[in-house]
Chains A and B, each alone.
Chain A
Amino acid sequence: MEALTNRVKPVARKKMTLLERMYLPEVLRGMAITFRHIFKKKVTINYPEKTRPFSPVFRGLQILNRDEEGRERCTACGLCAVACPAEAITMEAAERQPGEEHLYREEKYAAKYEINMLRCIFCGLCEEACPKDAIYLSETFAPANYQRKGFIYGKKDLLIPHPKENPEAYAKAKGNRIAQPQGHGNEK
């Protein structure tokens, strides 16, 4: 029969030599190989104690950013929700009341802001769409949860810690990915 391709290789069914039929030399050779592996470097990383560094372009869990005085930057314009290809973002806007200037940077803010982490594909389009530098993808990922509703992250989960009240947690959450908070947020 003619071969369909020229990549066909006949199976070698040669008889085993006497040494091979004795098994033991080959077994010993194999054992020498495995013995050498005892001294090799382990490739495993002790995960919870040690983590592999993420790449600088890693896109992880979203963060709602605050400005340097700790005011929320989000104005609930809805551009992120529109940009989101997975339709994971919903929000409700509210008007800033007098006396709330230290909480929200502009006169409109997101009263409710939810991201469904089961829908999110971490594409980062929300980050690109945001005119106020209010949403960022951080260097962590969504931890496992026992329930589906645990994956719907509200403002409580997404907001970055207050930079003045809790500077350490703020710095940790900010990571290296987020650019330094700027004055206006429109420079991007």
Chain B
Amino acid sequence: MHLLAIDWSLLTEKLVLIVVVVLISLVVAMYSTYAERKVAAIIQDRRGPNRAGPFGILQPLADGLKLFFKEEIVPKFSSKFLFILGPGIAMLTAIMIGAVIPWGNKVHLFGRDISLQITDVNIGILYVFGIVSLGVYGIMIGGWASNNKYSLLGSMRAASQIISYELAMGISLIALLMITGTLSMKTMVGQQMDHVWNIFKQPLGFLIFLVCAFAETNRTPFDLSEAENELIGGYHSEYSSMKLGFYLFAEYVNMFLSSAIMVTLFFGGYDIPFVNDATFIHTIGTNWMAVFQGAVFFIKIVLFLFLFMWVRWTIPRFRYDQLMNLGWKVLLPLALFNMLATGSLVLLHQNHWHF
């Protein structure tokens, strides 16, 4: 009798899925850097990178190669172990979020139904929150280990900013959770496929979540932690070579995955809009359905990535007191109000008020 029976096919299936998800996140992050430069250029009436390959699409490879060949410098008075650990944690936490995101419904291969989600944990959103909170350690440790005032300032800013905005973010999500009644990302997508997208039920919640997502990923207008013109790069000013690359990359991975989370929570995830899924899956089969779902999911994510970049090249950075004002005096009360309003509506609904 096997007490410890290992389902080898399940293991390989999950391993393949993990590798694919990590690769996709990295490639998307890589091309986000290209897209960012292109979007910036187009918004500023320039052309952007167009030398490496047709339309400059090999530019990210060239950038990566450059970073790899740069000299790796560890400052003499830095704490060496933590200095190396910092970018590692930043990258790790960025990629780990991808584990609970449903990339599609399922595919039918080799006589097995393979779910296109690494793990469907029933506390998916809590997991995301946990990992996002850990993400600040990468910045914090890196900034502190550099033994540099500017780095420390940058990482302090990042830490206080992320902690302040996580609060509003969490509370804005509580309202959503009261409506959906579940913490599992896949179940949420299922509900949105059957009914309307959550954005229509929680517009204010989405707005708060969006603003907080900008703050969590340290993107403009909340990029105080790396404010180039005040802090010479902030927490990564002592970093060079691929360690710096990891930090920059982690930001783009974060951006990609937070877009994925926003799409999953509020925009129906892999739900194909204006299409009746039940009849559609009948005509094209499970596997093609998964391909379409993945593509639609991806398009939605790309739109969000564009939004991130668009905002970055439009508005300047907040001042630090404005940032804290916005977080604690505006977003938090708004999120609380949203939660209370949603809660009372849900209560009324349960007591047979129909509206």
Q: Point out residues on A near B: beta carbons under 8 Å.
A: 23-24, 27, 30-31, 33-35, 37-38, 40-44, 46
Contact = CB atoms under 8 A, between A and B. Distances in A.
Contact of A31 (B44, B45, B46, B310): B310
Interface stretch (B27-35, B287-295, B311-319): B311-319
Interface of B: 42-47, 50, 207, 310-311, 313-315, 326
B314 A44 contact: no
A40 B44 CA distance: 9
A37 B47 contact: no
A34 B45 CA distance: 10
A31 B312 CA distance: 10
A41 B45 contact: yes
Contact of B313 (A23, A34, A42, A43): A34
A27 B314 CA distance: 8
A23 B331 CA distance: 12
Contacts of A42: 45-47
A34 B47 contact: no
A37 B46 CA distance: 10
B326 A34 contact: no
Nearest to B207: A24
A35 B310 contact: yes
Contacts of A37: 42-45
A37 B326 CA distance: 29
Secondary structure class of chain A's binding surface, majority of residues: helix
Given A23-B326, A38-B42, A31 B47 contact: no
B315 A30 contact: yes
9 contacts: A23-B326, A27-B315, A31-B311, A34-B313, A35-B310, A37-B44, A38-B42, A40-B45, A44-B46
Nearest to A23: B326
A44 B311 contact: no
A37 B47 CA distance: 12
Given A27-B315, A30-B315, A44 B43 contact: no
A27 B214 CA distance: 14
Identify the interface centre among A30, A34, A40: most chain B CB within 10 Å of its CB: A34
A46 B43 contact: no
Contacts of A40: 45
Contacts of B45: 37, 40-44
Contact of A30 (B47, B207, B314): B314
Contact of B47 (A27, A33, A38, A46): A46
Contacts of A38: 42-43
Contacts of A44: 45-47
Nearest to B50: A46
Given A42-B47, A44-B47, A46-B47, A27 B311 contact: yes
B14 to A, nearest CB: 41
A130 B328 CA distance: 78
Contacts of A34: 43, 310, 313-314
A11 B326 CA distance: 25
B325 to A, nearest CB: 9
B313 to A, nearest CB: 6
Nearest to B310: A31
Nearest to A30: B314
Nearest to B221: A27
Contacts of B310: 31, 34-35
A66 B275 CA distance: 77
